[in-house]
Structure 1
Amino acid sequence: MSLSLKQLRYFVATAEVGQISQAAVNLSISQSAITTAVKELERHVGAELFVRTAHGMDLTPAGRELLSHAYDILKKVDDATHLNAVSNTVEGSLTMAATYTVIGYFLPYHIERLQRLFPRLDIQLFELNRESIEEGLLTNRYDIAVLLTSNILNPQLTTEKLLSSTRRLWVPTQHPLLQLPSVGLEEVSKEPYIMLTVDEAAHTAMKYWSASLYQPKTILRTSSVEAVRSMVGNGQGVAILSDMVHRPWSLEGRRIETITMRDPVPAMDVGLAWRRTVEFTPAMLAVRSYFQQAFHIPVSRVA
């Protein structure tokens, strides 16, 4: 059996998060599919790629070497199969604004790809809150923005969703809620709750909490995702946050599990925004086309 791109993608996903379970969540596939792919890959290369430990999956020396090659292979495949409608001769400058969450957990990979694909394009990146981004787009200070589009209500702006990141309950390993057949806001309301505030997370959370019969027992409001991660990992509380910002380990090395909620909790939508009446430049068209093809969005005319 020959090596496949699917095997490489599953291997990379597992290596990056150190857990088959979390890699399966990120890829929206079964854990058995990843396990099978990794075993087939190990048979193909003739070496163990991971050491299975109590903490997850650690790369062996052979695994680290393969990971480097896998990145190169997948990068070349991406370059060959995407952006075939966009010329890499695009040049000039583009001002892009983004919010904290987007810059921290979404954008760096795509900025690197854009710089590699369009070496003559100068992307000037700015981190701002939503209100400042909206004002900057309307006054032409920024050409385009990448942010949580679910937060934008200004009718003078056009948005285009790229992805929806499911929000789930974060709990420490061996938490009693992991043993229940289902978990809803009722059960969560009985637990100490850590409320993230950055990027209007608290405002969004209170919308779905207010629509229920329950309220969170908030013990801390913080703008730090890492603080939430550490406190959950240390057993000091629980939180509801998106898969995009989830990592299976806290800074202290404590395991963080996720639970899909029984009650409706809106996903976190990430996408592009621009002024509705703006005239798209070649640079803006190139960037928008990149994201459309990267996320398999039908290419459409500028709205």
Structure 2
Amino acid sequence: MSLSIRQLRYFVATAEFGQVSQAAIKQNISQSAITAAIKELEQTVGVTLFNRAAQGMELTSSGRQFLSHAYEILSKIDEAMHLNVINSDVEGELVVAATYTVIGYFLPMHIERIRRLFPKLRVQLYEINRESIEEGLLANRYDLSVLLTSNIQNPMLATETLLTSMRRLWVPARHPLLAKDGVGLKEVAEEPYIMLTVDEAAQSSLKYWSKTQYQPNVILRTSSVEAVRSMVANNQGVAILSDMVHRPWSLEGRRIETINIKDPIPGMDVGLAWRSGNALTPPMLAFRSYFQQAFGLPGVRTGT
């Protein structure tokens, strides 16, 4: 049995949404087709990619490794299918600003690919916070930004979301919540909580907590993702963070599991931003075209 592009796309959609039903909606296909494709894919690769539970589809450690390969394969396929669309001869300088999370967990691989695709394009990269990025884009100090578009506030900026990274509960191995059929914010509120603060993570989390009668029992606020990872792995608390920054092992080599939360938790949107109304230069168009092809984007959302 051979691996197919269809199987990969269905697998990625299910991994990103954590629910077969949502993946089916995204792919405009039946749930049974998604389920069958994933089963065939697991038989082909010879490993279990998901743990099936009442709260959804949870990636196994093998599934997380395979997801990375699936992204790579689909990206290469999209790149090959659009070889005649992108003009690799584009040249010039592009000044790009990015936030901490994007620099650390998303952008480096894509910058390397962009430099291969456009050898004459010079990308000058800066890491700064969201407020400074917004001000810098409006002042034309930066051409483009790659950041958490869900945090953008200025209506004078155009944004284009590349992906939505699901937020899930992080717990240590053998945590009691792993045995529950359903886990919501009520159960999370009963646990010691590690609150990440970088890139407005605390403000983002309080937005969905504030819609409930519960509050997190915060025992530590930190700007370090690695500190959260280590604290959770060592059974000091739990955290709700996105799949993009998740790694199954701490620096000490201890396991970190994830749980789908039954309450509505918004995903973390990652994408591009630029000053609305600005004409996109050839370097800007090349940069944007790369991401459009890599992620199959819908239309642009612009400020009013």
Q: TM range, normalised to the smaller chain?
A: 0.7 to 0.9
How far did residue 26 of structure 1 move?
5.5
The answer as to 2:292 corresponding to 1:292 is yes
String of CA shifts for 1:73-126, please: whole Å, max 9, x gaps. 877645422353221110001001100101111111111111111111001111
How far did residue 215 of structure 1 move?
0.6
Residue 261 of structure 1: SS of its match in structure 2?
coil
Residue 251 of structure 1: SS of its match in structure 2?
coil
User: Which of 35, 38, 42 is equivalent to 1:35?
Assistant: 42
Partners of 2:170 and 2:239 within 8 A in 1:
yes
Partners of 2:194 and 2:239 within 8 A in 1:
yes
TM-score (norm 1): 0.79
Distance 1:184 1:39, change over 3 A: closer
String of CA shifts for 1:28-55, please: whole Å, max 9, x gaps. 6777455312139xxxxxxxxxxxxxx9
CA distance in 2 between counterparts of 1:173 and 1:6 reads: 33
String of CA shifts for 1:265-288, please: whole Å, max 9, x gaps. 111001110001212100101111
For 2:268, the aligned partner's letter is M
**Percent of residue pairs bearing the same amino acid type:** 63
Q: Which moved more, 1:175-184 or 1:25-34?
A: 25-34
CA distance in 2 between counterparts of 1:77 and 1:93 reads: 27
Partners of 1:7 and 1:37 within 8 A in 2:
no
Distance 1:147 1:166, change over 3 A: same
Runs of 4+ in 1 over 2 A off after TM superposition: 3-10, 22-35, 70-79, 298-303
Partners of 1:162 and 1:271 within 8 A in 2:
yes
TM-score (norm 2): 0.79
CA distance in 1 between counterparts of 2:131 and 2:187 reads: 34
CA distance in 1 between counterparts of 2:241 and 2:117 reads: 33
Partners of 2:167 and 2:241 within 8 A in 1:
yes
Distance 1:239 1:296, change over 3 A: same
Partners of 1:171 and 1:256 within 8 A in 2:
yes
Q: CA RMSD in A?
A: 3.2
CA distance in 1 between counterparts of 2:76 and 2:85 reads: 17
For 2:252, the aligned partner's letter is E
Q: Which residue in 2 is equivalent to 1:214?
A: 214
Q: Which residue in 1 is equivalent to 2:121?
A: 121
Q: Which moved more, 1:26-35 or 1:253-262?
A: 26-35
Map residues 142-161 of structure 1 onto 2, 5 A cutoff.
142-161=142-161
Partners of 1:83 and 1:289 within 8 A in 2:
no
The answer as to 2:289 corresponding to 1:282 is no
CA distance in 2 between counterparts of 1:138 and 1:246 reads: 33
Partners of 1:98 and 1:145 within 8 A in 2:
yes
For 2:43, the aligned partner's letter is T
Map residues 165-244 of structure 1 onto 2, 5 A cutoff.
165-244=165-244
CA distance in 2 between counterparts of 1:167 and 1:74 reads: 23
Q: Which residue in 1 is equivalent to 2:265?
A: 265
Partners of 1:5 and 1:74 within 8 A in 2:
no
Q: How many residues align?
A: 268
How far did residue 156 of structure 1 move?
1.0
Partners of 2:159 and 2:301 within 8 A in 1:
no
CA distance in 1 between counterparts of 2:72 and 2:195 reads: 39
Q: Which residue in 1 is equivalent to 2:97?
A: 97
Residue 254 of structure 1: SS of its match in structure 2?
coil
Residue 170 of structure 1: SS of its match in structure 2?
strand
Larger radius of gyration: 1
User: Which of 4, 8, 15 is equivalent to 1:25?
Assistant: 15
Q: Which residue in 2 is equivalent to 1:19?
A: none
How far did residue 217 of structure 1 move?
0.4
CA distance in 1 between counterparts of 2:154 and 2:302 reads: 18
For 1:174, the aligned partner's letter is R
Map residues 130-149 of structure 1 onto 2, 5 A cutoff.
130-149=130-149
Partners of 1:83 and 1:293 within 8 A in 2:
no
Map residues 2-21 of structure 1 onto 2, 5 A cutoff.
4=3
For 1:130, the aligned partner's letter is R
Unaligned ranges ≥5, structure 2? 19-33, 48-59, 63-67
Give the structure, 1 or 2, with the largest relative contact order (CA under 8 Å, sep 6 or more).
Answer: 2
Residue 159 of structure 2: SS of its match in structure 1?
strand
For 2:143, the aligned partner's letter is D
CA distance in 1 between counterparts of 2:300 and 2:97 reads: 22
